[in-house]
Amino acid sequence: MIAAILMVGGIGAVAALILGISSVTFAVKMDPREKAVLDQLPGANCGACGYAGCAAFAQELVRNTDAEMTCPAVKGETLQAISDILGRALGAGAPLKAFVRCKGSPNATQNRFLYVGPQDCMAAQIMQGGSKACQFGCLGLGSCVDVCLFDAISMGEDGLPHVVKEKCTGCGKCVAACPRGIIQLIPIDASFAVGCSSSDSAKDMKQLCSVGCIKCSLCADICPFEAITVSRTSAAIIDQEKCHRCGLCVSVCPTGVIASLEVPAKARIILEKCKGCGICEQICPVNAASGTVKQPYTIDEGRCIGCGLCIEKCPADAIERVSS
């Protein structure tokens, strides 16, 4: 009995000694900041930063003082926390979100045949080019939903994927997963985007789909900022850098293919500051501002589209956005 206790205890003591020594001699030196940074990163290992997972990116951030914050999910407080750990200010990349450029639900867009194979978009695409008649149409089998590590995409009742802006980090996994290349990354605060990427002619497209872009160019013509380009072989594209979010394009689009993502707050004139110069009246694309010179102007909220042009131009800083 005692011999057994001594034997086992002795083995334990020897093993403890060996482990103790090796833990000192073979210790892997790790910068404690790496662990701290890693704790702040989202931990989804999505690879959008360009490194092999969050740990590799944390290591890069700590070891390479020139490394930039390329993780699309880090912003705000988290960004500040990581900057504090590293002791250098990190700039945030322009945050992006995913946008599905198709509004062709099964009711709106024709199918060429009945597909009964594996429920995966890539697998469906190799079968005679996919069952959806429009080659730019969403196949609706949800491969983008499957690859999203942030649970930010779900299939809606309309058979199309919907992106939850709050959850989307703009990692681009879904963009790569879509065999038809219809998912695009756009700035997170983008207000309007065109829900169609068809390069078929309007006539060909219309035979297949009732909601696609017919390339009428009404949106491009009305856009006061020349932010929209459209041609015979390309659906309308909104240049998000030029877009002032006036929403005129949405109001004229005959097929309703332009999506309103974020409706901007409307403008209001601060009466005390207004000098009555009338610039707002001249600049307003929808004639929402009115008044008499040298008297405070007013903006008709019903007409205002929140483009913010007047706010930019007002010399007296007398226009603000109505916080809703």
Partner 1 sequence: MKTFKGGIHPPDMKELVNRVPIVDMPLSAVFTVYVQQHLGAPAKPIVEAGQKVKKGQLLSEPMGFVSVPVHAPTSGTVKAVTKQVHPVTGLLAPCIAIESDGHDEWVQGIPRQQDPFTMSKDALLASIRDCGLVGMGGATFPTHVKLSPPKDKVIDTFIVNGAECEPYLAADHRLMLEDPERILDGIRIALRILDLPHAVFAIEGNKPDAIALMKSKATPEIQVEELKVKYPQGAEKQLIQAITGREVPSGGLPMDVGAIVQNAGTCAAIADACLRGVPLIERITSVTGRGIRTPKNIRVRIGTPLREIIEFCGGLQDPAKVIFGGPMMGIAQYSDQISVMKGTSGILVLTGEDTNISSYAACISCGRCVEACPMGLIPSVLSKMGEKNQWEKAGQFHLLDCVECGSCTYVCPSKRPIVHFIKHLKALQRAASAKSKGA
Which residues would be at the binding site for partner 1 (CB under 8 A)? 112-114, 116-118, 120, 122-123, 125-130, 135
Q: Which is nearer to partner 1, 18 or 127 (CB)?
A: 127
Task: Give me the least distance between CB of 49 and partner 1, in Å please.
Answer: 17
What's the residue count for the chain?
324
Q: Which is nearer to partner 1, 34 or 120 (CB)?
A: 120
192 contacts 243 by C-beta, under 8 angstroms: yes
Q: Using the Cα atoms of residue 210, residue 214, residue 217 and residue 220 in order, give the sign of their dihedral.
A: positive
Task: Give me the least distance between CB of 112 and partner 1, in Å please.
Answer: 5
Give the Cα separation of 79 and 70 in Å (integer): 11
Task: Give me the least distance between CB of 11 and partner 1, in Å please.
Answer: 41
Task: Give me the least distance between CB of 166 and partner 1, in Å please.
Answer: 27
Give the Cα separation of 80 and 140 in Å (integer): 39
Measured from the Cβ of residue 223, the count of other Cβ atoms closer than 10 Å reads 23
Q: Which is nearer to partner 1, 123 or 261 (CB)?
A: 123
Q: Which is nearer to partner 1, 78 or 119 (CB)?
A: 119
Q: Which is nearer to partner 1, 1 or 116 (CB)?
A: 116
Q: Which is nearer to partner 1, 212 or 308 (CB)?
A: 212
Task: Give me the least distance between CB of 219 and partner 1, in Å please.
Answer: 28
Task: Give me the least distance between CB of 198 and partner 1, in Å please.
Answer: 14
Measured from the Cβ of residue 307, the count of other Cβ atoms closer than 10 Å reads 25
Task: Give me the least distance between CB of 271 and partner 1, in Å please.
Answer: 59
Q: Which is nearer to partner 1, 156 or 181 (CB)?
A: 181
